Structure 1
Amino acid sequence: MQEEQETHISNHLDEIVAAVSITPRKKIQNKLPQTALFHPPREKLQLCEEKAKSYSSSHNYKQAIQELVRCVALTRICYGDSHWKLAEAYVNLAQGYLQLKGLSLQAKQHVEKAQEILTNSIEPPYNDNTDVFKCSVELFHTMGRALISLQKFKEASENLAKAERLTKELLQCGRIIKEEWIEIQAQLKLSWARLYQGQKKSKEALPYYQEALEYIESSKGEKSLECVPVLRELAGVEQALGFHNSCINHLLQAHLIVLNKYPSQEEAANSAHIVAQAAVASGRPEHHDAAEQYFQESMANLKDSGEMGRAKFLLIQDEFCHFLKITGQEERAFCILKESLEAKVETFGDFSPEVAETYRLLGGADLAQGNHSRAHKKLNKCLQIQTLLYGPQDKRTLATQQTVDVLSKAPDVGGKPRQAQKGKPAFCPAVPQHPAHGKARVNAAV
């Protein structure tokens, strides 16, 4: 854990150095027009702020962080070391580390620096400046979120309460309009929900998620993409509390929003997959049709996609087969598994966990049907792969070894090995002699 934190801090310092260091003239000229080099600091600051927003919205997180660091440096140049705008720049940087990279400790450190600056700057003429109080709201809220991630829940709740109280006072004094207050409330309620959820208090988290959703729908609209993560988190709480109908309905609502925003095949597949998983998790027969429908929809979106999509397709297909088994459709499940074996070898490699698991399930199916010879062949193939992957003493390998040993003593397995070769071949093909991509060394060992 300590090494991980040190690595994060090291990366964090590297980014700051890269962002504020003087870049060689040639490199600057490649990135910026010649005139941009001579912009006044305040114009450069505005440009950096715009670029940070642009990079953030396009998920270019490394570049966004670098621009936010530059904003801190330029703000100090423009306004000095004790101006509230420098505190605002630190809060923005903290939000960047928290939202874009999930680095809570670094976010907390930046907020503490902002707090120190803001404490010293709130004096005439700043005590009548609404922007200072808005910055304070963001400061307390960001600190609260960072502390939630660090699992310091008591301190987190204190900061969220401060942000909430200050926001209420700003509304009552007419410093902010109702619409702006609603947007702030949406994010604060969501943070409260996550605070309780982080403490495994789903019952307490539920009303905060519901309020957050209402505020977001009020300010952004019911079909806004901003509703999607809240709907999914709300559904997760409802599932934990056993409210499966509400859970599935909210996930369907999120799915429809995603489909209306022209998603990629992978995004549409992922959204449908989430609904299918929730329907299976309910364990209720009335949700079986929904589970199958959304499994099929998810796989249909991935079937003709590229290599990464093919891998995801096969993993979801395995989940679908498991669903078929638990709903009494074993024959259909194992038929799909048989057909998937060749594609899994091609996608994951001859000696992969996915191929081993498929051999194990197919061998178990043959064993259940009393076909000991075919079960032995498949489970023996599974054993070979598991031994290479996990070693002979792994519990998975030992369990398969035990079954293979028992089957080896069966009359129709040990007594007729040559006859089995002359007869009709078993379904499962032998492991191909040609190595899969990236697997040559493993195959050579076999």
Structure 2
Amino acid sequence: MQESQETHISSHLDEVVAAVSIPPRRIQNKLPQTALFQPPREKLQLCEEKAKSYSSSHHYKEAIQELVRCVALTRICYGDSHWKLAEAHVNLAQGYLQLKGLSLQAKQHTEKAQEVLTSTIELPFNANTDVFRCSVELFHTMGRALIALQKFKEASENLAKAERLSKELLQCGRIIKEEWIEIQGQLKLSLAQLYQGQKKSEEALPHYQEALEYTESSKGEKSLECVPILRELAGVEQALGFHDSCIDHLLQAHLIVLSKHPSQEEAADSAHFVAQAAVKSRRPKHQDMAEQYFQESMAHLKDAGGMGRAKFLLIQDEFCRFLKIIGQEERALSILKESLEAKFGTFGDFSPEVAETYRLLGRADLAQGNHSRAHKKLKKCLQIQTLLYGPQDKRTLATQQTMDVLSKAPEVAGKPRQAQKAKPPFCPIIPQHLVPGKTRANAAD
């Protein structure tokens, strides 16, 4: 029975061979046995440790450099036809995918790993479990790379190979149940992403649910590894109109993030996800929740500088749009007026954010019948839009059209003639808030 099981596993290596597009190379002369235990091997171990350390601390450029060194050192230590070289290529491919999103490079390295495994198969072979593990990782990584490249049929074939091989490893006792569960969590997530990449949310949903169950089982319900799965699952549920479960899963992810001592920006992002989902549900029962998590998100960023300050202002604008939706327009306009000064300092005088704020304030004045104030704000908006987008951009043209209508209003139409009388012989047009000695204290007037 054992022999038949081992034969059945070995037959799957034929799939490795079939997946290789490059003909097998002749086995090169092995390095002397003593060379395997000299300094390159010690350097290899050090590089592997450094790659893990850099990856966990989000130093992705350095992590990739170490993974590249691992490939070179593995070739020195083990030769061109050892399965460990295939493993090194797979690790580098995973690095390109996870750390830099470079799917084409990942695909190329998995193809090199396939070539190495083909050479390995020609060697005397005694059903080495490590080779099978490497094959599972190879097929899985290739599948993920092909998903990113939108080659869905090929991706599905590779993921199916990884799933079958991992199942047979479990059945033959070559891996333990806990390891198989961990592999299943990763494979189910990739399958879900495969369907979601094809915009098949209904097919993706059960795979996301299984991925979450397997990951919670192997890593724990409060593991950070559950967070991206919960967020992707919530995205699918939202697309399918399951807003309550979407919000529940984002709240679950938020609690996990808060329990891991996140940075202020990480905590803000997490709360922001919940707020956005509550807004998109468009249900009155979620309005209070939306405001609560907008406020929480902004509170984490309130005293931040740099990019944190910019993110605060963008989330604040989003909060104002939400307030307008639920009928609190006066409150939204008050916040927008107060935000102008900070936007000048953060984004610059001639920025899309400042232009949009002037546009919203101008439209609000127009809705209230205050044509003069609306004209002032929309004129500033038009100046910025013309500089940023050009006079023929649809945004510029829309503002210009509104200005043309406003210019015919009695309280606006008389002003140019009055201004003309007081105008000196030469007066370059300079935005009022940029005139030397002036401040932006009345920028929103």
Pairing partner for 1:432 from 428, 431, 434: 434
Determine the C-alpha separation between the residues in 2 that align with 1:346 and 1:86.
Answer: 53
> Are 1:133 and 2:132 an aligned pair?
yes
Which residue number corresponds to residue 5 of structure 2?
A: none
> Are 1:311 and 2:310 an aligned pair?
yes
Determine the C-alpha separation between the residues in 1 that align with 2:185 and 2:322.
Answer: 37
Amino acid at match of 1:301: H
* TM-score normalised to structure 2 length: 0.85
Which deviates more, 394-403 or 181-190? 394-403
Which residue number corresponds to residue 226 of structure 2?
A: 227
What secondary structure is seen at the aligned counterpart in 2 of 1:321? helix
Which residue number corresponds to residue 326 of structure 2?
A: 327
Which residue number corresponds to residue 58 of structure 1?
A: 57
Determine the C-alpha separation between the residues in 2 that align with 1:348 and 1:434.
Answer: 20
Which residue number corresponds to residue 290 of structure 2?
A: 291
Which residue number corresponds to residue 114 of structure 1?
A: 113
Determine the C-alpha separation between the residues in 2 that align with 1:62 and 1:391.
Answer: 38
Which residue number corresponds to residue 17 of structure 1?
A: none
Amino acid at match of 2:267: A
What secondary structure is seen at the aligned counterpart in 2 of 1:128? coil
Shift of 1:296: 0.5
> Are 1:168 and 2:170 an aligned pair?
no
Amino acid at match of 2:232: E
Shift of 1:307: 2.2
Amino acid at match of 1:377: K
Alignment of 1:301-380 (within 5 A): 301-380=300-379
Determine the C-alpha separation between the residues in 2 that align with 1:341 and 1:406.
Answer: 26
Which residue number corresponds to residue 443 of structure 2?
A: none
Determine the C-alpha separation between the residues in 2 that align with 1:39 and 1:61.
Answer: 29
Q: Write the deviation string for residues 412-439 of structure 1: whole angstroms up to 9, x where unpaired.
A: 12225659xxxxxxxxx9423369xxxx
> Are 1:407 and 2:409 an aligned pair?
no
Alignment of 1:1-400 (within 5 A): 40-123=39-122, 125-400=124-399
What secondary structure is seen at the aligned counterpart in 2 of 1:305? coil
Shift of 1:159: 0.6
Amino acid at match of 1:411: P
Shift of 1:123: 4.9
CA contact (8 A) 1:189 1:212 kept: yes
Determine the C-alpha separation between the residues in 2 that align with 1:276 and 1:49.
Answer: 40
Shift of 1:125: 4.3
CA contact (8 A) 1:269 1:298 kept: yes
What secondary structure is seen at the aligned counterpart in 1 of 2:433? coil
Amino acid at match of 1:258: V
Which residue number corresponds to residue 442 of structure 1?
A: none
1:409–1:234 distance in 2 versus 1, CA, 3 Å: same
Determine the C-alpha separation between the residues in 1 that align with 2:351 and 2:124.
Answer: 67
Which residue number corresponds to residue 440 of structure 2?
A: none
Shift of 1:121: 0.9
Which deviates more, 76-85 or 313-322? 76-85
Q: Matched residues, percent identical?
A: 86
1:84–1:416 distance in 2 versus 1, CA, 3 Å: closer
CA contact (8 A) 1:350 1:431 kept: no
Shift of 1:309: 1.4
Shift of 1:40: 1.6
* TM-score normalised to structure 1 length: 0.85
Unaligned residue ranges in structure 2 (runs of 5+): 1-36, 420-430, 438-445
Determine the C-alpha separation between the residues in 2 that align with 1:249 and 1:270.
Answer: 16
Shift of 1:120: 2.2
Determine the C-alpha separation between the residues in 1 that align with 2:305 and 2:187.
Answer: 40
Determine the C-alpha separation between the residues in 1 that align with 2:366 and 2:261.
Answer: 47
CA contact (8 A) 1:126 1:132 kept: no
Shift of 1:355: 0.8
Determine the C-alpha separation between the residues in 2 that align with 1:396 and 1:109.
Answer: 43
What secondary structure is seen at the aligned counterpart in 2 of 1:175? coil
Shift of 1:274: 0.9
What secondary structure is seen at the aligned counterpart in 1 of 2:58? coil
What secondary structure is seen at the aligned counterpart in 2 of 1:364? helix
1:122–1:39 distance in 2 versus 1, CA, 3 Å: closer
CA root-mean-square deviation: 1.8
Determine the C-alpha separation between the residues in 2 that align with 1:338 and 1:62.
Answer: 42
Which deviates more, 226-235 or 302-311? 302-311
Determine the C-alpha separation between the residues in 1 that align with 2:401 and 2:113.
Answer: 63
Q: Write the deviation string for residues 361-404 of structure 1: whole angstroms up to 9, x where unpaired.
A: 11111111111111111111111111111111111111111111
What secondary structure is seen at the aligned counterpart in 2 of 1:126? coil
In the comparison of the two structures, how many residue pairs are matched? 390
Determine the C-alpha separation between the residues in 1 that align with 2:115 and 2:122.
Answer: 14
Which deviates more, 138-147 or 53-62? 53-62
CA contact (8 A) 1:238 1:246 kept: yes
Determine the C-alpha separation between the residues in 1 that align with 2:102 and 2:180.
Answer: 28
1:348–1:434 distance in 2 versus 1, CA, 3 Å: farther
Determine the C-alpha separation between the residues in 2 that align with 1:125 and 1:39.
Answer: 25
Shift of 1:68: 1.2
